[in-house]
Amino acid sequence: MRRRVLSRSRPSEQGFTLVEVLIGMAILSILGVGVWSGVTVALRTAERFHARALANARLLQLDDRFRECAGRILAPWWISGPSLSTTGGSWSVAWLDGDPKRKLVLSFSEGVLSVDDGAYVSRYPGLSSASLAAGLDGRNESLGMTLTVEGKDIGHKAIVARYGSAPVRTPEGS
Amino acid sequence: MGKLNRSRGERGFVLLDVLAALAIALLGLTVFIGSLAGAGRIAIAQADRVVRTIEQRNADAETRVVTFPAE
């Protein structure tokens, strides 16, 4: 009996003791919590990167669409420039495709900017604010429009687009 | 011989096994974090490219008209 007790007390033949198991579990728990929090932070960062990439892709699409529509504003030379009318969160410019009755309409509502050329409406979500103003050159003559948008993932951006009918001037002496 | 076998059988994993498992887990985590960092760099580069494109187009739109010498 005495010999047996002695042999059982040898660590190499005892298996894990409760204390060893508890210490092992504690170490693994600490490691697990560390890894879990690291993975959580990494996933959140990846989500932010994804949202930012998506917002920038949308911004570039908006830029393309806005400039393309502005280029289709073709007012005759005898008027000083197409006038920009504002009603609430909506802006419109006449002389789309050279027709005084056709209008390019931009509207901003509930974080979504819509660009409507009468045939197709493009929507750009994820914006916190948007505003449209006339773009003027150094002589205070209308050259086009300035669209200012703001969003969480894109910051504050201004897009200056020329009207298709805006005259191209050359420097004096050239 | 029998003593050694018994010891190993009753003690579960040896330290080397545990270290190997931890190394594999660490490698997986490193690959995961590394791929995220790569994705982040791509997103930042894309954002910079978008900003540069818009600024260049704005400059093109403005300078086609505002090319007068100061009066």
What pLDDT was estimated at residue A142?
74
- The answer to whether the CB atoms of A161 and B61 lie below 8 A apart is yes
Number of domains in chain B: 1
Of the candidates A15, A52, A168, the beta carbon closest to that of B10 is on A15
Task: Judge whether B37 lies within some domain.
Answer: yes
What pLDDT was estimated at residue A169?
59
Angle ∠(B62,B66,B67) on CA atoms, nearest 5: 120
A50 or A15, which is more confident: A50
User: Cα A81 to chain center, whole Å?
Assistant: 32
Contacts of B11 in chain A (CB under 8 A): 12, 15-16
Which residues 9-48 of B are in CB contact (within 8 Å) with A? Answer: 10-12, 25, 29, 32-33, 36, 39-40, 42-43, 46-47
Q: Is B2 in CB contact (< 8 Å) with chain A? A: no
Question: Which residues constitute the domain of residue B44?
Answer: 33-61
Q: Is A49 in CB contact (< 8 Å) with chain B? A: yes
- The answer to whether the CB atoms of A16 and B11 lie below 8 A apart is yes
Task: Judge whether B16 lies within some domain.
Answer: no
Q: Is B8 in CB contact (< 8 Å) with chain A? A: no
CA-to-CA distance for A121 and A106, rounded, in angstroms?
A: 9
- A39-56 confidence digits (pLDDT tens): 898 889 889 988 999 999
What pLDDT was estimated at residue A84?
85
Based on the number of CB atoms within 10 Å of its own CB, is A143 exposed (0-12), middle (13-18) or buried (19 or more)? buried
Among A129, A122, A131, which Cα is nearest to A60's? A122
What pLDDT was estimated at residue B12?
60
List Cβ neighbours of A13 (8 Å cut-off, separation of 6 or more): A7, B6, B7, B10
CA-to-CA distance for B8 and A102, rounded, in angstroms?
A: 86
Q: What is the DSSP letter of B6?
A: H
Residue of B nearest to A17 (CA): B11
Task: Judge whether B7 lies within some domain.
Answer: no
Among A172, A166, A158, which Cα is nearest to A66's? A158
Task: Judge whether B51 lies within some domain.
Answer: yes
Radius of gyration of chain A (CA): 33
Task: Judge whether B3 lies within some domain.
Answer: no
Q: Is A170 in CB contact (< 8 Å) with chain B? A: yes
- The answer to whether the CB atoms of B65 and A166 lie below 8 A apart is yes
- A60-93 confidence digits (pLDDT tens): 999 999 999 999 999 887 877 788 888 888 999 9
What pLDDT was estimated at residue B65?
47
Task: Judge whether B71 lies within some domain.
Answer: no
- The answer to whether the CB atoms of A160 and B11 lie below 8 A apart is no
> What's the pTM?
0.74
CA-to-CA distance for A62 and A65, rounded, in angstroms?
A: 5
What pLDDT was estimated at residue A35?
85
Task: Judge whether B26 lies within some domain.
Answer: no
Any idea which of A12-21, A61-70, A107-116 has the lowest mean pLDDT?
A: A12-21
What is the residue-averaged pLDDT of chain A?
Answer: 84
Q: Does the pLDDT at position B8 exceed 60?
A: no
CA-to-CA distance for A45 and B41, rounded, in angstroms?
A: 12
ipTM: 0.74
CA-to-CA distance for A127 and A151, rounded, in angstroms?
A: 4
For the segment A10-28, the average pLDDT, to the nearest whole number, is 77
- The answer to whether the CB atoms of B29 and A39 lie below 8 A apart is yes
Based on the number of CB atoms within 10 Å of its own CB, is B48 exposed (0-12), middle (13-18) or buried (19 or more)? exposed
- The answer to whether the CB atoms of B61 and A15 lie below 8 A apart is no
